[in-house]
């Protein structure tokens, strides 16, 4: 497919968004003070209308590295009833995207609300430590600690420890895959599922996925930005091939929690995420996988509000409801 053909295949709203970016391109992320980039993200996501929930509560989760901030979302009773939930509710541990460098409780507040309302579930959004202040494996450690805390305190949250899903988009999807594998390998109580939204599964510099080459620029997330994220997250090149950094290197994927995987046709991470979904399926894992056509990385949460993002939300929330009511 030529560049022109790719461009013509994009959804109209996605193409208009990319055209607007190309007309007034922002400076490269590495040329802007990091705190300003993070503040700009919070401002952009803060403009998204807030879906109502019953209540939110900010908490701190004890950790061997101090504490982890988190926010608990309780769904409205009508959303619980619409989801067909009975008794104690399911819980989703939400690990935000942002290249292991960006994102926090505020940028993903709209996403957490939409998940709580759409799936009738409790959501615990985790503010894991970010690079470069806290390089690999800090984010992994916080994701594991927070998920275990949620299971240990499920009853206090009005939830069910037997119905916990770990979910993440992009970098958060990477962390969710690691949590799911750790739960299997460390013989922890089983997860009800893992939902992976265009996850990063391969950080190795020697990898050569076609989508990373063909979609290296012009479609939102770029190869240059991905490389910059990697430079912030990893202090040792050897870490890039670690299973907690590049889940695609794990040889045995048998016995993982049921998985939901969403990918986007014009995402540079498409091929590695599709390959991870296929490898899980080949290993006997229950996998529901959708590649959403004509859209880009980040469509689920993009403040522009793409129609393809609505499709993603419907499929994600439908799977979440089913996984938590089995």
Q: Which residues have a catalytic role annotated?
A: 170, 267, 297
Q: Which two tokens stand for residue 89?
A: 């509710």
Distance CA 325, CA 12 (A): 36
Distance CA 143, CA 291 (A): 26
Distance CA 309, CA 323 (A): 21
Q: What is the dihedral of CA 212, 214, 220, 222, to 10 degrees?
A: 50
Distance CA 195, CA 197 (A): 7
Contact 168, 176 (CB under 8 A): yes
**Beta partners for residue 168, in sequence order:** 95, 196
């Amino acid at each position: 497919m030529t560049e022109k053909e790719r461009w013509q295949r994009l959804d109209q709203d996605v193409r208009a968004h990319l055209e607007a970016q190309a007309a007034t391109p922002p400076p490269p992320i590495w040329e802007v003070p990091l705190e300003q980039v993070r503040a700009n993200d919070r401002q952009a996501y803060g403009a998204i209308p807030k879906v109502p929930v019953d209540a939110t509560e900010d908490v701190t989760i004890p950790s061997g590295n101090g504490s982890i901030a988190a926010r608990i979302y309780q769904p409205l009773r009508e959303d619980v009833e619409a989801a067909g939930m009975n008794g104690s509710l399911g819980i989703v541990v939400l690990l935000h995207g942002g290249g292991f460098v960006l994102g926090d409780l505020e940028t993903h507040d709209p996403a957490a609300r939409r998940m709580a309302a759409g799936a009738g579930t409790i959501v615990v959004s985790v503010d894991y430590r970010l690079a470069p202040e806290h390089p690999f494996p800090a984010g992994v450690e916080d994701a594991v600690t927070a998920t275990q805390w949620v299971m240990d305190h499920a009853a206090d949250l009005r939830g069910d420890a037997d119905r916990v899903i770990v979910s993440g988009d992009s970098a958060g999807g990477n962390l969710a895959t690691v949590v799911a594998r750790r739960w299997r390998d460390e013989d922890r109580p089983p997860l009800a599922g893992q939902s992976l939204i265009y996850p990063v599964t391969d950080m190795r510099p020697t990898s050569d996925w076609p989508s990373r080459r063909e979609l290296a620029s012009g479609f939102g997330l770029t190869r240059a930005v991905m490389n910059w994220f990697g430079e912030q997250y990893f202090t040792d090149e050897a870490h890039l091939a670690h299973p907690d950094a590049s889940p695609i290197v794990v040889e045995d994927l048998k016995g993982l929690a049921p998985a939901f995987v969403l990918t986007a046709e014009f995402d540079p991470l498409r091929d590695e995420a599709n390959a991870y979904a296929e490898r899980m399926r080949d290993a006997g894992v229950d996998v529901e996988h959708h590649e959403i056509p004509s859209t880009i990385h980040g469509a689920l949460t993009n403040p522009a509000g793409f129609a393809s993002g609505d499709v993603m939300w419907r499929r994600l929330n439908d799977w979440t409801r089913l996984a938590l009511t089995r």
